[in-house]
Amino acid sequence: MSELSAEDELELQSLLKQLLKSVNDRISGAPSTECAEEILLHLEETDKNFHNYEFVKYLRQYVEDSLGAVVEEETKDLTRGDGQHAIGSGHDTLIHAVTRRTRESAEYQQMMQTLKNTMIMVVESLINKFEEDQLRKEEMHREKQHSQSNSQYTDNCSDSDSSFNQSYAFIRQEQLQALAEKLDSSRPKEVRWEALQALCCAPPSDVLSCESWSRLRRNLCAALTESDPDLSDNVLQFFAKSFSSSPLNVTREIYTSLAKSVESTFLCHKLNFPTGSAGIDINRPEISRPLKQIRLMNDFQKEVTTFWIRHPEKYMEEVIESTFSLLCFHHEHGSASPRTEKTLEPIHLLALLDIKATWFKKWMHGFYSRTVVLRLLEGKYKSLIVAALQQCIHYSESCEHFTHEATDPSAEQLNTGSIQRSVYMRKELEYAFFVHSLCVLGKLLIYTNGRKLFPIKVRNRKDPVSLTDLVVILINIVYRHTKPPHGDTSHTDSLSPSSLVMEVLWMLCERTECAAECLHQTAVIETLLAPVIALLNGQQAKLKSPAATLTLIADVLARIANTDRGLALFLYEKNLVIAHSERTFAAHIIVQFTLKLLDKELSSLSESDVSHTLCGAFIFVCRQIYNTCEGLQVLRPYGLHKAVAAAWKKTSSLSERVPTPVPGANAGTSTQEPPNMLIWEETLLDSLLNFAATPKGLLLLQQTGAINECVSYMFSRFTKKLQVSRCEKFGYGVMVTQVAATAPGVAALHSSGFVRALVVELWSALECGSEDVRVVRPKPTPMDPIDRSCLKSFLSLVNLLSSSQSVLELLGLQPLANKSEYTLRETPTSIPDLIDRLIAVNTDAKIHSLFHYEQSHTFGLRLLSVLCCNLDSFLLLESQYNISSMLLQSQRDNVCEQDTSEGFIIDSLSVERNHVLVRVSLVGGPSERKLPPRALQEGEDPYPWPMFSCYPLPHCYTSDPSRIHHNNSLDPELSTFLASSKDTKNKESWMEICRRQYCKVMTTKPNILTGKMLADLLEKVVNHLSSSATECFFSPAHYKAEEKSVKSAVLSPVEQLGISTCLRYGCFLKLLGEDAEHDLTLLMKHVNIFLSTQRVKTSSVLITQQDGYPGHDWLASTVFLIMSGDTQQSLRLLLSLSSLLTSAFIWPARIHASVHFPVEAAESGIPPVYWCTAHYVEMLLKAEVPLVHSAFRMSGFTPSQMCLHWLTQCFWNYLDWPEICHYISTCVLMGPDYQVYMCVAIFKHLQPDILQRTQSQELQVFLKEEPIQGFEVSSYLEFMQELERSYRSVVLTDMKTICNPVE
């Protein structure tokens, strides 16, 4: 089909005309011809009916008939050559090739030429017919104009459909000039009305761009002021149409004209404000006319923000300034002489139309307009803000006046749903103005330059109103307003004063700078807590609705406490007067009031007011305090955890006794009470659970006996992926990690089903994949050792198994399944199952049971590598599962054929196994051992590190023994001092001198503090301190073991493996001889016998609390190495050390289940190094190294877990031997609090690496697998001394309460 017949042309003409009619609305609304063309060009993208138009169907058929054969032929030619199937990317390539060849064909060129010529003739014919039809329509229009009635415009609103959706035709300049003359105010009303009718039918773009527009605008503005509604309403209709279809450079003139018209109306007709019981009827012509104009202005105000950025700033400024001028007009003229009779002002009508000042909020949203708004308000139009502030003050004072009356000035009748109103009372107008003013001020306060407008001078006030004064005024409004009952769900509640003020306060709380300037002020805190203090003192609070208002107060207090600055304000500033000028901290008031609420001991509050909602709200405030380390320090003495636990136990027992509903019983009590009780029980559980956010808080939670229920509740929310609370920025990840660091915590996680769910989720991601997702293309082979889909599960497992105590609880005495056959549907559900299937893959049955053997086994080996970084965890795995032998056997099996000499097969699994074997076989710091990399290198030798399948290890993995420096030189001054130390007349001064000498040597010659020098120093210092009554914290050790009992003592497999590890390290350091095994075994037996007399007989079911200390005694081993293998000297030092406070922290085995604790704390299974040392490390990190603290929060890991790991094994494998010695000596000489300071110093040293690894989600693995490179105790000693000066009064004082940790 290459030619179009005459019939085709006629059909095209009809179809094109039909298409144009269908899109008439789109084209007629275009501001210019170019825009209309753009609309037509993009019609397929914007019109969902595009392909249903007959014209489009015709063209599609024409193209198919003309080019169908060409397309088929080209497709055959292209697919014949390579036999390519049309799928995937090949399909796209084929389409592009066929399209290109078709467009280059002669048929295509002929079709386009024919279509173009035909369409030109069709369009010309349509234009000719249109001009003829237009002339006839103009004649008919003139005849019909006089017969038209006003019923056409039944809706006189300025934004009605009739004003926007009328069809129109083009108009000539001469006609517009004639219309401008007819609209002159001197012409008769009928002539002007006819001219307005014609103008409304004309395209606004033609009218606004004509030469007579200036005259037209003047005449139109004059018509606006006419009393005849026919004229003014028609002008508004034209203006509305112009607003919707004209650019800002034109509409700004219309807007400013409207503003001046309204201004002149209020100037000429002074409308009195209603008084008494009289109201204002908006249907009165003198009110209706400006109200309609202001409504049109308000619609434009709310829409103009979407496009004014595309125009010069002066246009926007003109619109803003004309608005402010209108709203300030009467204020400026009335401020000189206060009038006795109040007049109605434009802002009152604007407040009725846009009560929440949406227009102002939109203007303030964008920086482009906000800058102009604030500049104008600061200068010429500040009276607008003064008036808004004055109205808020006036409303506050009126609230105070009505405090004891039944009626309320809030005028809640203002919003009555869908009922149309025409009469508004004085109070309603004033309240609408107040709401509008409050919304304007609230928006101003959230911006820096908006707050700079304060303080503001207002009438009847001596001092200017500051930001703090304004917030206090707003809070007082909440206090004096009656909140609607809870059953009232009407929209009026959103317009109630308390709701509106709370919205403003919430906005301020969410922004740090706003909160600091407006809320974190003494006056504001005093105002918020004034009712609380009054109730605590037994007085009546001046509140209309005590329970509802106190709940709102608690909400604001919780949001303030959730910020660092707000929390510091509550904890450390004595800004509240309680009685007789006595000042106290806000946190103390809040927790005292919460305890009173829990115990129902507030006589000033009726029993109905003390609701669960109110009590829960104040517990939530306390929760924002006690879920931080510093906050818990302040609240702990009040025993809030005990009170909440008691309330939970009482509620739980009541809910269990709820009777079964019986037929005929009162339905109200049986259906309402249990849900309320359940909500209250969950609130209390949630509050208890949040104690687990800090190490010491976790101990308090464990002591309440509710840890299992709390963890089960957490697991139920965790599985639903619910947020911790409205104030929390993260989920439960950090809390789960904190709980998992301890034996009772991980036992609770296991019993709740969390561990099982984690293992099943991991197995699903690792082995099963997403079976419910349709596979479009094969899944790519993972390039990373751990695929991204499994990384989250991997990190969750690392967090769960970080602590050796957690590993023991989950693995202790549990053998591996080692089945002869595994079904493919058999899913692991526990950690031993996971080890059996992913790590101990030593049989063909296990290999064949894995869908992704290499990937899954690599995952298991990576997990094993992280687990073995904890020496106690490795010793447990080795003693139970013989991990090393299993890995060596796998390496032996992974060799080439016997007739080759290539040796081991190098693949991802053999490289991983080699890395793990070196890691578990060698002990040493960053410069004492070399761990092979896991990645292959480029070149001829991709893996130059030798693999092995039996011991000993190749020498290349250890440093050269000759490079290990044993400095036997002595410091003359320190040596002389130690030699003369027998004179102990002034023990305190001796210790001070010793510390000074120690610090001097550490800063000048730290390398000499090893070997004999260090042994002598430690021995002298420990003997000196243990002989001092003031320094001796525990009772002195009286130990004398019989030789028979020592010989018969049996060491556990873990301890025996630990001894072998220590011997290897000692021999490598050349501190021990080959025969030292007997001496170290003897020392361990002596220590075990001694410590067994220091432990309580436990009834705990925790595995870690059975049969002594659950791990190897790394401190005793360290002391043995320091003493160069001297058993007696080591034992004497340890016995003397056991009486010092320092031993409770640097010697975990000494304090395990100690008799010096209360039985509950001794059986808790939580060591002091966790709930004391690690607690203060987290507290100091937040203050001293905040970036590291934040990085841990974001990663879901906790500093306390790493501290527990490092300190339990005395930094073995993380620091070189000299630094380990310096750690021990610093804690002994300088005090146990230096253990906290050293951990903080290490985190500070690692800050760059921590921040980098957090970004790549490798923080946990990095901290566990990598040694602490470049850290020297001597380099950070000064920093630690600064921490001592700042925090010793808190840290050391609390360490001394170790015997009563929960009191």
Which pLDDT tens digit goes with each residue over 514-529? Answer: 999 999 999 999 999 9
Burial of 32 (0-12, 13-18, 19+ CB in 10 A): middle
**74 or 512, which is more confident:** 512
Q: From CA 16, how far away is CA 21, in angstroms rounded?
A: 9
- Cβ atoms of 1201 and 1264 within 8 Å: the answer is no
Q: What percent of the chain has pLDDT over 90?
A: 52
For 1153, which DSSP code?
A: T
Predicted confidence band of residue 38 (pLDDT cuts 50, 70, 90): confident
- In this structure, the chain runs to a length of 1303
Rounded to two decimals, the pTM is 0.81
Residue 1124's H or E segment, with its range, is: none
Residue 1135, amino acid: L
DSSP 946: P
Q: Model confidence over 556-566: pLDDT tens digits?
A: 999 999 999 99
691 touches 641 (CB < 8 A): yes
Of 145-149, 712-716, 795-799, the least confident: 145-149
Query: pLDDT by residue (tens digit) across 1225-1259?
Result: 999 999 999 999 999 999 999 999 999 999 999 99
Residue 411 reports pLDDT greater than 50: no
Asked if the model's pLDDT at residue 68 lies above 90, the reply is no
**Average pLDDT estimate for 1182-1210:** 95
Contact 1220, 1255 (CB under 8 A): no
Pairwise CA distance, residues 302 & 419, whole Å: 24
**332 has pLDDT over 50:** no
pLDDT digits (tens, 9 = 90+) for 618-649: 999 999 999 999 999 999 999 999 999 999 99
User: Which of 212-216, 228-232, 495-499 ranks highest by mean pLDDT?
Assistant: 495-499
Of the chain, the percentage scoring pLDDT greater than 70 comes to 86
Q: Render pLDDT for 888-925 as a digit per residue (tens, 0 to 9).
A: 999 998 887 654 445 788 888 999 999 999 999 999 99
Hey, which bits of 723-789 come out as E strands?
Answer: none
Listed in sequence order, the residues at least 6 apart from 966 whose beta carbon sits closer than 8 Å to its beta carbon are 1010, 1011, 1070
Can you give the three-state secondary structure of 1214-1244, one letter per residue? Answer: CCCHHHHHHHHHHHHHHCCCHHHHHHHHHHH
Question: Residue 266: is its pLDDT beyond 90?
Answer: no
Mean pLDDT of the chain: 85
What integer pLDDT is reported at residue 377 of this predicted model? 95
pLDDT reported for residue 188: 84
pLDDT, greater one: 139 or 283: 283
Query: Residue 398 above 90 pLDDT?
Result: no
Contact 727, 506 (CB under 8 A): no
Confidence of residue 149 (pLDDT cuts 50, 70, 90): very low
- Distance in angstroms (rounded) separating the CA atoms of residues 331 and 328: 5
Count of CB atoms situated within 10 Å of the CB of 90 = 13
- Cα–Cα dist 831/862, whole Å: 15
1026-1035, 1058-1067, 1207-1216, range with the lowest pLDDT: 1026-1035
| pLDDT number for residue 782 | 57
> For position 417, what pLDDT does the model report?
47
> What residue type is 1184 in one-letter code?
E
Provide the pLDDT for residue 151.
35
